Structure 1
Amino acid sequence: MLVGLIQRHKTDLLELVERRAEGSTIVAGQMPIGKWHKYIGDPAVADAIMDRLVYSSMKIELKGESLRKTRGKPGG
């Protein structure tokens, strides 16, 4: 289960994204972009992060089964 961000983490993430706004940044995760606002939990901070990170980005969404399912258990 994912736990929501505390205020310090929200502001740290915003600061990181702000500092990287002029450069290249790669973000990888399993949470769909549509759920980020709710997860961040602060509309103003979420809008600022999304504006700087998502709206001007190239998105690659992978689909299909998890590789963990297709590869089996480690050592097995």
Structure 2
Amino acid sequence: TRAAALFRDLSLARADGRLRQLLRRLNWIDVLVVDDWVMAPMSESERRDFWEIAEDRYQTRSMILTSQLPVSRWHEQIGDPTLADGILDRLVH
């Protein structure tokens, strides 16, 4: 799925009370593919939501991220240094 579509779906799910349900559904996907990852700086809610996804999947399920940006720029696009460290740590290890 494209990152923009994923974050839109997460935002809509949060608005109508389905966020936990959507996060559970995403966690059951064996390999979650996210296209166009961090093409724009992430908002606070996008960072928190992606942290939840990365944490839920850590060491149990795989993720494939595609991006036009080099990995060295991901940290700055994520924004918040603490969440960026946590997200990237779970993606790399």
- The two structures have a TM-score, normalised by structure 2, of 0.53
| Structure 1 unaligned spans of 5+ | 57-76
Give the aligned CA root-mean-square deviation in angstroms.
Answer: 1.2
State how far apart, in whole Å, the 2-side matches of 1:3 and 1:36 are: 10
**Rg: which structure is higher?**
1
Three-state SS of the structure 2 residue aligned to 1:25 is: strand
Structure with higher strand content: 2
The residue identity in structure 1 corresponding to 2:62 is S
Structure 1 residue aligned with 2:46: 9
| Structure 2 unaligned spans of 5+ | 1-38
Structure 2 residue aligned with 1:50: 88
The percentage of aligned residue pairs carrying the same residue is 39
Aligned positions, number: 54
- The two structures have a TM-score, normalised by structure 1, of 0.64
The residue identity in structure 2 corresponding to 1:10 is R
